[in-house]
Amino acid sequence: MRETVRLKNTGLRGVTVADSAISFIDGEKGILIYRGYRIEDLVAYSTFMETSYLLLFGTLPTPEQLDSFTQQVKAMRTLPGHVIDSMRLWPKNARPMDILQASVPLLSMTKDREEGDEPDRRICLECSIGLIARLPSLVAVWHRIRTGQPILEPDPNLDHAANFLWMLQGKKPDTATAGDLDICLILHADHTFNASTFAAREVVSTRASLYAGVSAALGALSGNLHGGANTKVMEMLIKLENEPDIEQWVAGQLRRGDRLMGMGHAIYKTGDPRVAFLKTMGKRLEKQTVTKWAAISERIEKAALALFAEQGKTTILPNVDFASAPVYHLMGIPTDLMTPVFAISRVAGWCAHIIEEQFADAQGKPALYRPQAQYVGEYCGPMGCEYVPMKTR
Ligand code: ACO
């Protein structure tokens, strides 16, 4: 007889559902670690390509391994023709996260898909590399199609972040901007069992494909309480650009019971370690412009923290989305592409988790996730309620 644990409306907070060797968060100390390495060190010394290798393969690569990995990614950046043909038919005002979620399964209809009933680790790794390579292309190509601009071929001379900006914007970014975006990609690459990663793992626990897992993760990421928050933060900043009384606006928002986007985190209770990097980056990028996002953000943050403190909610602090939105804006990334940019980073973590879910179970067989619900609906006994035919209802 299995023991059942009753958890109601907790969002599974604090419930451990699997072992994972991919990343670690200490929410009290504000620590984030990928495969043993602190993000501070990865930001200082690594690149998104190396971090992706680390997440997927579990160790830092040798120079030869990194070179081979990078070449593989570069070789897979081009999208299959049928994906581009499909995109041309889709409504131009579709939400980019929907486009991304719809496009990923189309990538599996090529020869690099997983074959057979049982997943094969080598093929899953190849598919993961393909997804890391192609998610940026999907975002950029969709943007070019929806804005009526010519699609640009990937440039093998450009690194991952730089190539994305090139394919999106049609001009080669300067080294500093490309380097900043690469750091953003490192910072977003993994985050233990967040909602989208759990969605991916849950889907592949049924032995569905890696593509099905990533597509599900994209759906979860799109929500405003998760990755969709960065887009909402930028919309808020733009709305408040000419607002004289930001403090009053924040107070009104909280008085109405509305959530302030970019504030709060399910795990970090003393601060999100990714925020400091992004705030510094935002201030540096802003020096080259006449915008005032840092000042507006500071006023929102100060007002919100004071009001949260009055309510005894001192653990609600700015999260990664609060700080990344103005950074992406200053890089020229359209507001509705901010969540897709989150995805082009997090896909490395999703794939690592999917592969771990598929292959790393200690007992040698993956567990199918299958929680229970407490039934609170109509119950008329074991025979069920009397069915009343339509005409006598
Ligand atoms: N604005 C206003 N109130 C908030 C906020 C916020 N941003 N965050 C939490 N609260 C309040 C809740 O209303 C709740 O109040 P109550 O107890 O009076 O009902 C209390 O704090 C606890 O809220 P929970 O949702 O249970 O707290 P949790 O820490 O689990 O929430 C979450 C985390 C969902 C991220 C929340 O902080 C939130 O909605 N933030 C805004 C959306 C956002 O920025 N999401 C991005 C998160 S980072 C990421 O996913 C990449």
ipTM entry:
0.97
pLDDT of 262 > 60? The answer is yes
Name which of 264, 335, 253, 255 is nearest 293 in CA terms.
335
Q: Is the pLDDT of residue 39 over 80?
A: yes
Helix, coil or strand: residue 318: strand
CA 194 to chain centre: 9
Q: How confident is the model at residue 38 (pLDDT cuts 50, 70, 90)?
A: very high
Amino acid sitting at position 55: L
Distances (CA, A) of 267 to 32, 180, 300, 336: 11, 26, 22, 26
Tally of residues, the chain: 393
Domain regions of the chain by residue span:
23-224+337-358, 229-329
Q: If you measure from the C-alpha of residue 225 to the centroid of ligand 1, how many angstroms do you get, rounded to a whole number?
A: 8
Beta pairing, strands 23-26 & 31-34: antiparallel
172 pLDDT band (50/70/90 cuts)?
Answer: very high
Q: Which two tokens stand for residue 140?
A: 């950029």
Query: What 3-state class would DSSP assign to 38?
Result: strand
Contacts of the segment 247-251: beta carbons below 8 A, 24+ positions apart: 247/299, 247/302, 247/303, 250/300, 250/303, 250/304, 250/307, 251/303, 251/307
Q: Classify 23-224+337-358 by CATH class.
A: mainly alpha
Take atom 44 of ligand 1 and give the residue whose Cα is closest.
262
Residue 321 annotated in active site = yes
Please give the CATH superfamily to which domain 229-329 belongs.
Cytochrome P450-Terp, domain 2 (1.10.230.10)
User: Mean pLDDT in the chain?
Assistant: 94
pLDDT at 364 over 60: no
DSSP E strands, 144-284: none
Mutate to test the pocket of ligand 1, among 9, 198, 221, 265 (most ligand atoms within 8 A of CB): 265
Give tens-digit pLDDT for 65-94. 999 999 999 999 999 999 999 999 999 999
* CA-only gyration radius of the chain, Å: 22
- Token look-up 């984030």 returns 32
CA 262, 265, 268, 269 dihedral sign is positive
Of 188, 265, 329, 353, which is the active-site residue?
265
Q: Dig out the tokens for 327 from the structure.
A: 């950074």
- Predicted TM-score (pTM) of the model is 0.95
What percentage of the chain has pLDDT greater than the value 70? Answer: 95
CA angle 87/88/94 to nearest 5° reads 60
Q: What pLDDT is recorded for position 14?
A: 87
Regarding the beta carbon of 226 and ligand 1, being less than 6 Å apart is answered yes
